Structure 1
Amino acid sequence: MSKAASAAAKDLALAGVRGVHLAWADNNGIPRSRIVPIGGLADAAARGVGATALFAVFDTHDRITYRHPGLSTPSGDIRLFPVLERLRRLAGQPSFAWAPARQVAADGSPWPYCQRGVLERVVAEAEVRGFELRAGFELEFAVAPAASSDIASAPGHTGPAYSPHALVGIDDFVAGLLHDFDVNGLRIGQLHAEYGLAQLELSLAATDPVSAADDQLLARQTIHAAAHAHGLRASFAPLVSPQAAGNGWHLHSSVRRRARNLLAGRDRPGPDGAAYVAGLLRDLPALTAVTAPSVVSTARLRPGYFASAFTFWGTENREAPLRYVPGTELLGDDHANVEYKPCDASANPYLALAVVFAAGLAGIEEGLEPPAPVAEDPGTWSSGQREARGVRRLPASPEEQAAALAACPRVSGVLGEDLLGAFQAVRGSDAEWADGKPLHELVGAHLWRY
């Protein structure tokens, strides 16, 4: 490993790279990093880089909570190890390279708070059971001039949504972004002006789950750098204005066994694919506690905003939290997947993928059967109609999310006792900070965090 790191460092140094970001995401979905001088990369690959153990209990506002017994003092250190297979020179920051980091205990043993390790375990367990997992993120974000303090008063583009001329004023940024994504090794399917305020969306190509989470972190870095280079700043926050549609980071997933996509189907998937959907639907309230965990996330999940407010699934229904995307004669069975919509940038991408796959695979193992798909928007139904169809409101507050997570060991158990305790402590700290504050203040405080 040190030989590979030394060779990579030599090549990067010749190209003008001065440092390497070792990046990970915390329990608030916020990217963190240590920069290693390029001459120290080989040593970092061999022995790691020191960091405080307390990053696991940082809340969204960089407050440290000591409520979790496992991390209740300021003492303790961990080591960060670069994943050299994902080492990239950053096109938009050519003096720097980037690599995702594994978090390891100071003695080199596994660190139970490493979110990447949780996803690696879920993927490995799925492989033992004969499953191949695929995933990809859609990223929504808003842009504003670099000097702007918010999006609403100075939107980076004014629409119309989905229009080619909406982006004419930021053409250089879009072109630069496409260039940087290509050079950074990130494949995207498309990019367009989205429905929300000053919003854009791009879709990352599907890959294995760990790479999908790595890609999501690298995409954030790439977007931020491209925006800065063109006089803009990007917000990935779940809400950029109390009145506007928010930013969702929709998670597309599929499961294969013996090279066959279990989600394949036209109007609905076959038995195993349907069971996967049923597993997700069963645990959906608890899943949102991990996939949309910030205090503004539940405010985004409201009826009528294509944001998913109720527990149901549907075929190509864009109000559904679980949108089944079928295969077609044109695209083939490999295209079939489930779009999980109540996910945003405040989710740690490794944990989001881990719990989603764990819930769906549990459905397959138990042979669950989902209810009939819904084609309408249940937000337009009466409460009686929703009750008759078994459609419930998703958790509408951090307290409701916490209760749903505590009541669902299938989801909470994925994190493990130590990481779950830290995660819950951080959520409690965020809720305490937010108590009594109006929504506009909460939105402003989260706007540039991710």
Structure 2
Amino acid sequence: MQAAEADLEADPRVAEVVAAARAADVRLVRFEYCDVSGVAHAKAIHVDQLAHKMVEGVGLTRAQMALNLLEQVVPIEGMEPVGEIRLVPDPTTFTVLPWSPGSASVLCDQLDHDRTDWGACPRSFLRRVVDRAAAMGITVQATFENEYYLGTEIDGRFEPVDAPTHAPVYSAIGHDHLDGLMLETVDALTAQGIVVEQCINEYGPGQREISVRHTDALGAADQQLKFRDTVRGVASRHGILASFAAKPYPDEIGSGAHIHFSLWGRAGEGGRSLLYDPAVPGGLSPLGRHFIAGVAEHLPALTALTVPSYNSFRRLVPSAWASSTTAWGYDNREAALRIASPFYRREEASYNIEYKVSDPSANPYLSLGALISCGLDGIQRGLEPGEPSRRDPARLSPEERERGKVRDLPSSMAEALDLLEADAVLVDALGPLLSRCYLAVRRSEHAAFAAADVDFEIRHHYYRF
């Protein structure tokens, strides 16, 4: 039997992917992963090699994960340019790319030669966290709510597509601007199985938001990579840059990627919401309170993973709808954790928590896995949050802050990384190699951007995310 035929027989899912690629006239398939700086990378293989590469994977030097945002290799023990790992695709993530005729992609785990996590795979990290939650009887559903800017480069500067004639937020004329591009983007997402729920023009010039349906935690992180690829790919066909940087225009409003999540029991045991309790005022269950308390306790350190770039901290300022404290509250859009009010007749199904200290520059596997890890710690320790904030946390009195256990978030990347290194729960969850890699790579970025001017910062954040 030929090797390719054996590969097809060994895993029926491989045969399905190969058949789908052939049917769509795909010639190149991108084996994609996300590095610790949040940048998506891919190696493309020819469709004739797809059957056996789906099984054996594609080689990748260990040093590739030691690259920082500026593509400098950071010296990290165990991640030298000696030895290889493998990019092993998950067949369930195969999609044809509507904006790139003849191309498709699959998302990959980074595995050692024996098919185990080599210690620095963000996707494997999230898998471990999901398994830990499942062992506690918890299934996490989530989605990322993305904002992004559309712009063009003119004389070395990035200009919003509708400047200086920016339409008001949520306005009808704002939807008419670039409506063809937005429809094409929505169609491309839909073609890949991503359910679009809402599409709006946002506050900033050239800023847009698209909300997509929640799914399981690993699927939500996968979906986030596919989402960013699609938005950028479709825009590029029109000569437009889509930037997922947190603050690509320092004087304009920032872009978030708020994480909406809910907690559910095992499907085979009723599959009921573990967050929603209709007998409690506000609907938040005791388990939900413990989860929120865990996130709030670790939140200053968690910022290093969920708003992780040097540029991210320009967004975390008071009264900017981005959160600058650990406060939580019911429909409080200035709080780090907002209990979203449920919809009529869908109360249990729609009850969720919005985590606002998140932007699109984060590696979604690391950010979502870290968020869940903090919440699970709160459940295991039976932590209780302070009082919910009933107004903008920036306007709370000292007594109200104390009752709410409200603390300020770090104001810089360097401060956040120091807090992360000191947080035993997060460091233990990441594991020794991944945590060491993350801290070293991110600190190298901080040093580079702190030594440069704002134009350097914006340029290197604008087009990499």
Normalised by the length of structure 1, the TM-score is 0.95
The aligned residue for residue 316 of structure 1 is 331
The residue number in structure 1 matching 2:166 is 158
| TM-superposed deviation, 1:55 | 2.0
Structure 2 residue aligned with 1:59: 68
Q: Secondary structure at the match of 1:342?
A: coil
1:210 alignment partner in structure 2: 218
Change (3 A) 1:388 1:8: closer
Find the residue that maps to 2:78 and give its secondary structure. Answer: helix
| Contact 1:138/1:251, CA 8 A, preserved across alignment | yes
Distance 1:148 1:226, change over 3 A: farther
- In 2, the alpha carbon distance for the partners of 1:147 and 1:88 equals 34
- 1:338-377 aligned at under 5 Å gives the runs 338-377=353-392
Is contact 1:275–1:370 with CA below 8 Å preserved after alignment?
Answer: yes
Q: Match of 1:21, SS? A: strand
Residue 229 (1) aligns with residue 244 (2): no
Say if 1:367 and 1:387 are closer, same or farther in 2 by CA, change over 3 A: closer
The match for 2:282 is 267
**Distance change >3 Å, CA 306–CA 284, structure 1 → 2:** same
| 2: CA distance, partners of 1:262 / 1:14 | 43
Quote the residue 2:8 is aligned against: 2
Q: Secondary structure at the match of 1:283?
A: helix
Taking the aligned partners of 1:133 and 1:139, their CA distance within structure 2 comes to 19
RMSD between superposed Cα atoms in Å: 1.9
Per-residue CA shift, 1:347-391, capped at 9, x if unaligned? 110111111111112212222211111021122346676457532
Alignment of 1:36-75 (within 5 A): 36-66=45-75, 68-71=76-79, 73-75=80-82
- For 1:320-339, list aligned pairs within 5 A: 320-339=335-354
Structure 2, unaligned runs of 5 or more: 1-6
2:199 paired with 1:183:
no
**Matched residue, 2:3:** none
- 1:418-433 map, 5 Å: 418-433=433-448
Tell me, yes or no, if the aligned pair for 1:152 and 1:240 is still in contact at 8 Å: no
Deviations 1:249-298 (A, max 9, x none): 11111111242212214625021111111111111111111111111111
TM superposition shift of 1:91: 1.4
Asked if structure 2 preserves the Cα contact closer than 8 Å seen for 1:164 and 1:193, the reply is no
Structure 2 vs 1, CA of residues 383 and 296 (structure 1 numbering), >3 Å: closer, same or farther? farther
Tell me what 2:4 maps to.
none
- Residue type at the aligned position of 1:324: I
Q: Secondary structure at the match of 1:121?
A: helix
Whole-Å separation in 2 of the counterparts to 1:223 and 1:148: 24
Deviations 1:71-127 (A, max 9, x none): 2x3212111111111111111112101110111113433211111001111111211
In the alignment, structure 1 residue 242 sits paired with structure 2 residue 250: yes
- Structure 2 CA distance for partners of 1:315 and 1:443, relative to 1, 3 Å: same
Greater CA deviation, 108-117 or 203-212? 108-117
Deviation at 1:439, TM superposition (A): 3.4
CA distance in 1, matches of 2:335, 2:301: 17
Residue number in structure 2 paired with 1:196: 204
Q: What CA deviation, in whole Å up to 9, does each residue of 1:314-348 have, x standing for no partner?
A: 11111111111133443221211111111112211
Do the aligned partners of 1:145 and 1:155 also contact (CA within 8 Å) in 2? no
Instruction: Out of 157-166 and 232-241, give the one that drifted further.
Output: 157-166
Q: Does 1:399 align with 2:414?
A: yes
**CA shift for structure 1 position 23:** 0.9
- Which of 68, 80, 86 does residue 79 from structure 1 map onto? 86
SS for the counterpart of 1:240 is coil
Q: Which residue of 2 aligns with 1:123?
A: 130
* One-letter amino acid of the structure 2 residue matched with residue 414 of structure 1: A
Kindly indicate whether residue 114 of structure 2 is the aligned counterpart of residue 114 of structure 1.
Answer: no
After superposition, residues 21-32 of structure 1 pair within 5 angstroms as 21-32=30-41
Find 1:141's aligned residue among 136, 148, 173.
148
CA contact (8 A) 2:149 2:244 kept: yes
Q: CA deviation at 1:221?
A: 1.2
Cα distance, 1:412 vs structure 2: 1.7
Q: Which moved more, 1:105-114 or 1:131-140?
A: 105-114
Task: Determine helix, strand or coil for the equivalent of 2:405.
Answer: coil
* Alignment check: 8 A CA contact 1:316 1:324 kept: yes
| Letter paired with 1:131 | I
- Supply the distance in 2 between the matched residues of 1:329 and 1:340 (Cα, whole angstroms): 22
Instruction: Decide whether the 8 Å contact of 2:150 with 2:161 is kept in 1.
Output: no
| 1:188 to partner: Cα distance | 1.7
Name the CA distance, whole Å, in 2 between partners of 1:233 and 1:57.
Answer: 27
Deviation at 1:402, TM superposition (A): 1.4
Name the stretch that deviates more: 151-160 or 128-137: 151-160
Letter in 2 for 1:200: R
Tell me the alpha carbon deviations over residues 157-201 of structure 1, each in whole angstroms, 9 at most, x when there is no partner: 722111121131301101101111111111121010012231111
Residue aligned with 2:110, SS: strand
Q: Is the CA contact 2:149–2:160 (under 8 Å) kept in the aligned structure 1?
A: no
Change (3 A) 1:184 1:17: same
Determine what percentage of the aligned residue pairs are the same residue.
32
Q: SS state of the match for residue 99, structure 1?
A: strand
Which of 416, 419, 441 pairs up with 2:431?
416
Secondary structure (helix, strand or coil) at the match of 1:28 reads coil
Q: Contact 1:152 / 1:241 at 8 angstroms: preserved in 2?
A: no
Separation (CA, whole Å) in 1 of partners of 2:16 and 2:358: 39
Unaligned runs of 5+ residues in structure 1 are none
Q: Which amino acid aligns with 1:216?
A: Q
Residue correspondences, number: 448
Aligned to 2:29: 20
